[in-house]
């Protein structure tokens, strides 16, 4: 039975239909998915008893928390997946959350301010590089590194003592001789010299082991390689290994906390309130603290399954903690032990521990479980791991306190950010006299160059912060070769709201422009029957100057707000109202930040379009490259600059174009890069 509620029924009627569907749901463990009007997944949850859990959503609406009410108001359907046990429910829930990223589930916020170390094993000669964006590209990522100077120190050691490739793939293919890094013994020079892949991978694997905190294992291996090279009279290699060993010892000795060398442990600290939870994970490898990483989690407290259910908040904490730990270790190294000195429901603890054990030993499913991975008290951890050293016990106790303190610090830091975002939104609501806080704001900008390649950008701010996954780009199709901002705006608005039943309607619409642009958009929204959408334009400040005054006089940024009638509908015929923004005020900072971000996004897209057109016109100059071959080339390489990173034989195989023409294309692209 797959019920889909009609669009114009009341909330009470919809809840009644959902309760009727609920009669077919069994009291068995499993996963449930709440769905919106168009079938989109809003929330994924697991339950011991599916019927009881779902009943809590569709009864007693007036007693629910505001956040749960907001979710229930959007539920038009639900789906259940029955599982054999709670362990299967946990795995299925993790996979569904990871795949669908529902808005109402707890989601780990990526802190892109912290850098990662990236190693792409798909490259012929993998490099060790730093990046601030973690992508799903199959590469190895280590971090994020939140301790100041830690990543610079590691990269300094890797670049100096491990002779790995440092240049980009395109430069690697174009060199005529090994570069200076080879001359100073910091690269093996595989670009032009016959380097054995096995020798290169020895150094690369040493770097990977260091990043995983395996100092003890890698020190032993490097020492063995040093002695072996000396026995084979390969003294240069032996000297290189000796320098690596010294650097590793120096790095190991700099760790602030030193424990028993056999300790491999993650300590998870936490700080909680009913809207936000922060975690801080301290990593200990070979008895050394090698990293500490904060995580911020937004969560939804579910309603109790039964009205008089005891310890509901305690159970909810346990559910959220379990969900975080299972998601966090989905793609991360699982150490021998994890210490989380907090409250977990005993059933969820056993399921989570089994889940971690199975993930850690996925290559060896038959391995017997001798001891738990997850510990909830330091005393149980000391007893199981047999730590009898009072000094180690004290240091681990101190690290637990420090992890909790770091989690609390991150909580207050995030709370300040959220508080300022709320302050900006509240100030904007008050200035524009809106009925509610605009949690979803869209800003549009048009970009053109001499009337050609006109594009538009749409940026979205959710709760006062940029939501880049919701950004959109528009290529203007109706107006070609003309510089007509009004026609471009009309086209963009029509395309944005062409199916307003399915599309998310913004709480506020911002246009980069003044009175003419606002009146044009007002007319368009009127024709679409969407005049109730809050609309505002932001007009740039004006600079006034005359020949007799040395100073430049700059006016304030202005908001252009259309007039509305008693029914709150836009009156595009009337002159809009102008509101001055006070420089530095919360509303000024939010609106100008959105305008600048929309401008940046549009300009970036416009430049890419121009570059793409220039490259395509460049192809027409190459002899032997006719329309059919150009089409094949562009189909195989939509971004023509990717050709610089490919081997000639691969390009010939993908396109069927002769090698001498590919060489000409490569040379042309290299000239303009």
pLDDT in tens, 52-89: 888 888 888 877 777 788 888 888 888 888 887 787 78
Q: Is the pLDDT of residue 659 over 70?
A: yes
Q: Could you report the per-residue pLDDT of 206-225, keeping only the tens digit for each?
A: 888 878 766 666 777 778 87
Q: Are 186 and 159 within 8 A, CB to CB?
A: yes
Peptide bond into 144 cis (omega under 30): yes
Q: Could you report the per-residue pLDDT of 405-434, keeping only the tens digit for each?
A: 888 888 887 887 788 888 899 999 999 988
| Residues 127, 81: Cα–Cα separation, whole Å | 44
Q: Could you report the per-residue pLDDT of 568-590, keeping only the tens digit for each?
A: 888 888 888 888 888 888 899 89
| Residues 187, 499: Cα–Cα separation, whole Å | 57
Structure tokens at 378: 């330091």
Most confident of 83-97, 171-185, 369-383: 369-383
The pLDDT of residue 259? 65
Q: HSE (CB half, 13 Å, CA atoms) of 363?
A: 1
| Residues 60, 66: Cα–Cα separation, whole Å | 13
Lowest-confidence region among 82-91, 131-140, 181-190, 362-371: 362-371
The pLDDT of residue 511? 92
The pLDDT of residue 444? 94
Q: Is the pLDDT of residue 339 over 80?
A: yes
Average pLDDT for residues 466-490, to the nearest whole number? 80
Query: Is the model more confident about 202 or about 624?
Result: 202
Residues recorded for the chain: 673
Q: Could you report the per-residue pLDDT of 597-623, keeping only the tens digit for each?
A: 999 888 887 677 665 655 656 666 677
| Residues 658, 635: Cα–Cα separation, whole Å | 16
Average pLDDT for residues 494-505, to the nearest whole number? 78
| Residues 189, 263: Cα–Cα separation, whole Å | 38
The pLDDT of residue 414? 82
Q: Could you report the per-residue pLDDT of 125-148, keeping only the tens digit for each?
A: 999 998 877 777 778 887 766 554
Q: Which residues contact 112 (CB under 8 A, 6 or more apart)?
A: 132, 133
SS3 at position 668: helix
Q: Which residues contact 497 (CB under 8 A, 6 or more apart)?
A: 503, 525, 528, 530
Q: Is the pLDDT of residue 333 over 50?
A: yes
Q: Are strands 107-108 and 41-47 parallel, antiparallel or unpaired?
A: unpaired
Q: Are strands 508-512 and 440-449 parallel, antiparallel or unpaired?
A: parallel
| Residues 593, 312: Cα–Cα separation, whole Å | 41
- Cα dihedral 166, 167, 169, 175, rounded to 10, equals -130
Q: Which residues contact 396 (CB under 8 A, 6 or more apart)?
A: 259, 265, 267, 339, 378, 381, 382, 387
Q: Are 164 and 185 within 8 A, CB to CB?
A: no
Helix (H) or strand (E) holding 181: helix 180-183
| Residues 293, 271: Cα–Cα separation, whole Å | 14
Residue 541: pLDDT band (50, 70, 90) is low
* Torsional class of 286: left (φ above 0), alpha (ψ -120 to 50), beta (otherwise): left
Q: Which pairs from 155-161 meet CB under 8 Å and 24+ separation?
A: 155/117, 155/128, 155/130, 157/210, 157/247, 157/248, 157/251, 158/128, 158/207, 158/210, 159/128, 159/186, 160/186, 160/247, 161/240, 161/243, 161/244, 161/247
Q: Is the pLDDT of residue 304 over 70?
A: no
SS3 at position 389: coil
Distances (CA, A) of 505 to 402, 438, 532: 45, 11, 11
Beta bridge partners of 52: none
Q: Is the pLDDT of residue 543 over 60?
A: no
Residue 461: pLDDT band (50, 70, 90) is very high
Q: Is the pLDDT of residue 1 over 60?
A: no
Most confident of 88-97, 202-211, 426-435, 653-662: 426-435
Residue 182: pLDDT band (50, 70, 90) is confident
Average pLDDT for residues 179-194, to the nearest whole number? 85
Most confident of 312-321, 515-524, 543-552, 601-610: 515-524
Helices 11-22 and 50-58, axial angle in degrees (round to 10): 170
| Residues 672, 558: Cα–Cα separation, whole Å | 42
Structure tokens at 346: 């005993």
| Residues 501, 6: Cα–Cα separation, whole Å | 12
How large a percentage of the chain has pLDDT more than 90?
Answer: 8
Q: Are 31 and 79 within 8 A, CB to CB?
A: no
Q: Is the pLDDT of residue 112 over 60?
A: no
Q: Is the pLDDT of residue 368 over 90?
A: no
What is the pTM for the complete model shown? 0.58
Q: Is the pLDDT of residue 4 over 50?
A: no
Residue 288: pLDDT band (50, 70, 90) is confident
Query: Is the model more confident about 666 or about 472?
Result: 472
The pLDDT of residue 266? 92
| Residues 642, 669: Cα–Cα separation, whole Å | 10
| Residues 466, 110: Cα–Cα separation, whole Å | 13
> What burial letters (b/e) apply to 410-444, b meaning 16+ CB within 10 Å?
bbeebeeebeebeebbebbbebbeeeeebeebbbb
Structure tokens at 182: 């080879």
**Maximum C-alpha span of the chain:** 93
Q: Is the pLDDT of residue 441 over 90?
A: yes
Cross-sheet strand order for the sheet of 265-272: 107-108, 288-298, 276-285, 265-272, 337-339, 374-375
From 138, 133, 168, select the one nearest 642 (Cα to Cα).
168
Q: Is the pLDDT of residue 473 over 80?
A: yes
Average pLDDT for residues 295-314, to the nearest whole number? 66
The pLDDT of residue 459? 93
Most confident of 118-127, 251-260, 477-486: 118-127
Q: Is the pLDDT of residue 110 over 50?
A: no
- Mean pLDDT, the chain, rounded, equals 80
């Amino acid at each position: 039975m797959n019920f889909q509620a009609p669009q114009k029924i009341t909330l009470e009627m919809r809840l009644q239909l959902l309760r009727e569907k609920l009669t077919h749901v069994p009291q068995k463990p499993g996963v449930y998915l709440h769905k919106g009007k168009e079938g989109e997944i809003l929330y994924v949850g697991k339950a011991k008893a599916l019927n009881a859990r779902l009943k809590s959503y569709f009864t007693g609406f007036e007693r629910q928390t505001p956040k749960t009410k907001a979710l229930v108001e959007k539920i038009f359907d639900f789906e259940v997946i029955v599982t054999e046990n709670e362990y299967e429910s946990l795995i299925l829930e993790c996979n569904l959350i990871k795949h669908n990223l529902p808005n109402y589930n707890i989601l780990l916020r990526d802190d892109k301010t912290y850098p990662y170390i990236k190693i792409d094993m798909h490259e012929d000669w993998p490099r060790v590089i730093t990046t601030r964006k973690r992508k799903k590209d199959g590469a190895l990522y280590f971090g994020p590194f939140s301790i100041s100077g830690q990543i610079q120190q590691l990269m300094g050691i890797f670049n100096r003592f491990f002779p790995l490739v440092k240049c980009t793939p395109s430069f690697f293919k174009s060199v005529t001789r090994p570069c200076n890094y080879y001359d100073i013994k910091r690269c093996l020079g595989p670009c032009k010299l016959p380097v054995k892949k096995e020798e290169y991978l020895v150094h690369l694997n040493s770097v990977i082991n260091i990043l995983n905190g395996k100092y003890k294992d890698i020190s032993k291996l490097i020492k063995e390689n040093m002695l072996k090279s000396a026995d084979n009279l390969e003294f240069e290699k032996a000297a290189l290994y000796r320098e690596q060993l010294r650097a590793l010892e120096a790095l190991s000795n700099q760790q602030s906390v030193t424990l028993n060398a056999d300790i491999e442990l993650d300590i998870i600290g936490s700080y909680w309130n009913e809207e936000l939870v922060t975690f801080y994970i301290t990593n200990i490898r070979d008895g050394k603290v090698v990293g500490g990483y904060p995580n911020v989690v937004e969560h939804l407290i579910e309603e109790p399954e039964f009205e008089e259910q005891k310890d509901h908040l305690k159970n909810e904490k346990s559910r959220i903690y379990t969900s975080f730990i299972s998601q966090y270790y989905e793609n991360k190294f699982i150490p021998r032990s994890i210490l989380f000195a907090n409250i977990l429901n005993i059933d969820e603890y056993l399921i989570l521990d089994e889940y971690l054990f199975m993930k850690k030993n996925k290559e060896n499913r038959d391995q017997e479980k001798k001891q738990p991975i997850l510990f909830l008290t330091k005393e149980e951890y000391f007893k199981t791991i047999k730590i009898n050293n009072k000094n180690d016990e004290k240091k681990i106790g101190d690290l637990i306190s420090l992890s909790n303190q770091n989690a609390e610090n991150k909580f207050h830091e995030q709370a300040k950010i959220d508080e300022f975002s709320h302050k900006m939104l509240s100030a904007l609501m008050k200035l524009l006299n809106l009925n509610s806080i605009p949690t979803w704001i869209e800003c549009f900008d048009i970009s053109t160059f001499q009337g050609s390649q006109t594009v538009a950008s749409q940026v979205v701010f959710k709760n006062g912060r940029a939501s880049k996954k919701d950004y959109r780009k528009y290529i203007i199709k109706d107006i070609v070769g003309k510089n007509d901002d009004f026609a471009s705006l009309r086209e963009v608005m029509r395309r944005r709201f062409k199916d307003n039943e399915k599309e998310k309607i913004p709480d506020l619409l911002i246009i980069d422009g003044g009175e003419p642009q606002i009146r044009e958009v007002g007319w368009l929204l009127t024709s679409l029957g969407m005049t109730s959408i809050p609309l505002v334009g932001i007009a740039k400040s004006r600079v006034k100057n005359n020949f007799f005054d040395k100073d430049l006089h700059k006016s304030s940024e202005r908001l252009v707000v259309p007039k509305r009638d008693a029914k709150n509908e836009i009156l595009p015929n009337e002159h809009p109202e102008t509101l001055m923004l006070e420089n530095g005020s919360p509303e000024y900072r939010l609106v100008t930040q959105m305008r600048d971000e929309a401008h940046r996004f549009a300009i970036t897209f416009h430049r890419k379009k121009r570059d793409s057109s220039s490259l395509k016109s460049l192809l027409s100059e190459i002899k032997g490259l006719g329309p059919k071959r150009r089409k094949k080339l562009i189909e195989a390489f939509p971004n023509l600059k990717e050709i610089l990173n490919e081997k000639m034989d691969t390009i010939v195989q993908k396109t069927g174009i002769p090698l001498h023409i590919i060489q000409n294309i490569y040379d042309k692209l290299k000239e303009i890069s």
